[in-house]
Every structure is written in C-alpha cells, then in structure tokens.
Amino acid sequence: MDHFPFLEALIFLPLFGAVILSLIPEEETGPFVALGTSVLTFVVSLPLFWLYDPAEAGFQLLSRHEWLGPIGASFSLGVDGISLLLILLTTFLTPIAILSSWRGITTRVRSFHVAILVLEAAMIGVFAARDLLLFFLFWEVMLVPMLLIIGVWGAEQRIQASVKFFIYTAVGSLLMLAALAYLYVIGGRTFDMATVEQNLAAMRAAGDFGAREQVWLCGAFALAFAVKVPLVPVHTWLPHAHVQAPTAGSVILAAVLLKMGGYGFLRFCMPLFPEGARELAPVLAWLGAGGVVYGALMALAQSDLKRLIAYSSVSHLGLVVAGLFAGLTAAPEHFHQAGHARAMAGAVFQMIAHGLSTGALFYLVGAIYERRHTKLIGKLGGLARPAPVLATCFVMATLASIALPGTAGFVGEFLILLGVFENNPAMAAVGATGMVMGAAYMLYAVQRVFFGPATGENDHIEDLDAVELVGLAPLLLAAFALGLFPGPFLDRLEPALRALAAHGG
C-alpha cells in the first residue's frame, strides 16, 4: 500500500468520533461533535473520486492487514466504481441525516449520535470490504445501531417496528452466514474475495461447481439482499420501520441501507455464482418489476405521508432489481450484453438518485411533523401559503423522485428501461407503467398537502429555518447536478459493470 489509507480513515474516523462523544458528559455537545466528525469524514472521502482511475479495470486503493490469519481472514479493503459511489453517498448523507434531527432528538442525545457514527462506519465497511468475513462483520454490526435508532428514538410503535426489522434481517443474515461457511470450505479455506472468486471460476471450468450448487448458494445470499432492498414479498418490515423511525433514521435507511441489497447482488450473486444468478434471474427480475407496480398502488392508497414515501421506495428499488437481472432472463442466443451493462449502470445510478431524492423527501416530512405533529395527509393542506420555502423544496424533491428530465432519477430510470427493453421488452413495459403511476401518487400528495384547502392549524406553521436549509440544499443540488452531469459518475461505473456483463452476470 503506497497511498494514504483513505478507506481505513473513513471507517475509523466515525468510530473515533463515537468514542470521543461517549466520553463527553454534556448531552448538548452530541450534535456538534457528530456533525463535525461526519463532515470531516465526507471531506476525507472526496479525494477517492479523483484517485480512482476509470480507465483501469478491477479494484483500486487496495490495502490488506493481518486479522485472523489462522482461518484466512484479513482486514482487506478496496473499491471499484460501484463501491466508490456508494461510499461517497454514505459520507455525503450522514451529516445531512444529523442535521435532519437537529431539534427533533431531545432525549439521550449523545447516545443517538454515537449510534449514527457507528452506523456510518459499518456502512462504509460493507462497501469497502474485500474479505468475506469482514463484510459479514460490518453487515451485522450495521444492524445494531439502526435497531437502536428505531427502537429507542422512534414513535409509539417503535418496539414492534424494530423487532420486525431485526427478525427479517437476522433470518436473511443466518442463511448468508451458512453460505459463507460453505464457500470457505470449497473456496480454498480463505475469506479473501479475490481468491475465492478465482477458485470458484477454476472449479466451474473444471465442472466441479455445477449450476444446482450455485443456485442454492446464490439463493442464500439473494434472500439476505432481497430483504435489505426490500423486494416484494419480503418488504413488509420497511413501511413500519420508516413510519416509526426518527427523521435521521428514515433518511439513512432510505438513502443508504436499502442500497446494500442491490450492492450485494452485484458484488456476490453475479460474479461468484453466474449460473445460479441466471437460473434465479427470472424470479428476481419479475419480482422487481411487479414490485414497481405493487409499490405504486400501495402508495396511492396511503393516508400517511411518510408511509406513502416508504412504499415509493419499494417501487423505485423494484425497478433497480429488475434492471440488475432483466438481461439474464434473455435466452443466451438473444442476450444483449451492452443492454445488460446499460441496465445495470442505470440501476446503480438509480440507487444514488433514489438516495438523494427520497432522503430529501423524508427530511421534509420530518420538518412537517415537527411543526404539525402529524403525518396524516388529511390533516395537512394549504402549507404552501405559510411555508413557501418548504413547499418549494418539497416540489423539487418530488420532481427528482418522479424522474423529471434534468434530474438524476431520469438518468437512472431511462438507462434501466433502455437496457431492460433490449433483453425483455415486456418487463420494460411493466416497469414503465409503475413509473407513470409514481408520478400520479407523488403529485397527488403534493396537491393535497401544499395546495389543498387549509385548516386553521396549518395557517401559522413556521417555514424552514437556516439549519434545515443547510442540510436540505445539498441534497436537492446534488439531485439536479447528477442529472445534468452524469458522465463522470457513469465513467467510474463502466469497467466493473462491463466485466459483470461480459460473462452474463
């Protein structure tokens, strides 16, 4: 390693901040220490974008440290274009999440911000890990602070929501752990991802790692990732968790945690088990495409604004899964490799876009709740008159969410539909139908909340304050900036996705 240890710094900086914060007795220092630490972490992450060479395939900024040598596990880190962008999304969103709950968290303030910083470190670790056991460690550690954020600082039904979140995630994680143990035995008794991938490729070439075996292993991993996306029908924990979570929890959950499912499909299912991924692709892709329509229909039926946005995530991320797997549903003789790579690029870009737009929407719903102490659409109305800045920001976030041309969402969804159409036109048609419905439920919600008849209680609410605008403005600016200038980001994705598409996944 002949470079500054950026990845190690990004993991240990938030942990160091959490330790410092836990030693400071004053509760009121919590937001300031956490915000300073998260901003520093974001600043340290920025050079990664320019240090990463998009012309060079494979992982970069690699580092390896001895950890559990006797069992072949190491503290091994590295990034490709996919993990690079998701790490930047994580470091960008964390300070914004802290600002979103700046005045909403009034009890155990230090502990709340310690949980946020530990969660940030674990999320970065998931995206940077190049060791299977290290990945699983970060994947599990990530569960604990989010469980606490929902269960301690959530709304009235926070315990039920956190238990449901834990049960769903734990079941998927146990199956993935069993698959990891099996991989360790057959993959050379090492957890190093590159070595395991090479050994499995050699076994496939020799006929020692057949399709049936791959299907079982891929299925174990896929269930854990499907829960995290979440993919219908293992999605039912998500609306409950979002409604009960504090604003910061909802922002991080929607913007970053849900992306780990899509990342897992790309990082593990496709390169390690290509034949298994192809066998399971029709099921996963059609569940994703069906989830686009299902999520949209459920969003249309909601009376709670936060639950409506939660179901919109089910719809958007269903399209992501369809984009990842639709190419593998084509018969080998009709497989369009460039289309598959295009759809996968759109899926990753859509994960980033969704993080920005939906993070902004949950941020704004939190601001509305702090003023009106309700999320019921029927009790809101006419908010544009007393809070024009709030209304303007919500409309901008809505336009980004429904993929208005010029926003990041448009780039992601257009690439997905274009790539999916080249391999499965019927699936593209289903996905497009759900997208049209998405515009309907979001614009209808905006009309009722901001431009509908006003009640007396809504006439005098405060507009967004300076702290809220400082947190919100970067999200909205980024959503439009990535829509207008997507090239540098897509360039960094191309090598990794081209390599995946080259061997049919």
- Please write the tens of the pLDDT for every residue from 61-104: 999 999 998 898 999 999 999 999 999 999 999 999 999 988 88
Whether residue 198 is contained in a domain is answered as: no
Q: What's the total number of domains in the chain?
A: 1
Whether residue 317 is contained in a domain is answered as: yes
CB burial string 446-464: b at 16+ within 10 A, e below: bebbbebebeeebeebebb
CA distance 452 to 377: 10
Please write the tens of the pLDDT for every residue from 213-251: 999 999 999 999 999 999 999 999 999 999 999 999 999
Q: What single letter denotes the amino acid at residue 229?
A: V
Whether residue 97 is contained in a domain is answered as: no
- pTM to 2 decimal places: 0.95
Task: Measure Cα distances from 235 to 102, 193, 342 in Å.
Answer: 29, 29, 27
Please write the tens of the pLDDT for every residue from 327-385: 998 878 778 888 889 999 999 999 999 999 999 999 999 999 998 888 999 888 889 98
Please write the tens of the pLDDT for every residue from 127-169: 999 999 999 999 999 999 999 999 999 888 999 999 999 999 9
What is the pLDDT at residue 400? 95
Please write the tens of the pLDDT for every residue from 456-498: 677 788 999 999 999 999 999 999 999 999 999 999 999 888 8
Task: Measure Cα distances from 489 to 50, 85, 179 in Å.
Answer: 11, 8, 33
Containing structural domain, residue 479? 285-505
Whether residue 175 is contained in a domain is answered as: no
Whether residue 339 is contained in a domain is answered as: yes
Q: How many helices (H) and strands (E) does the chain have?
A: 21, 2
What is the pLDDT at residue 106? 86
Whether residue 244 is contained in a domain is answered as: no
Whether residue 373 is contained in a domain is answered as: yes
Whether residue 300 is contained in a domain is answered as: yes
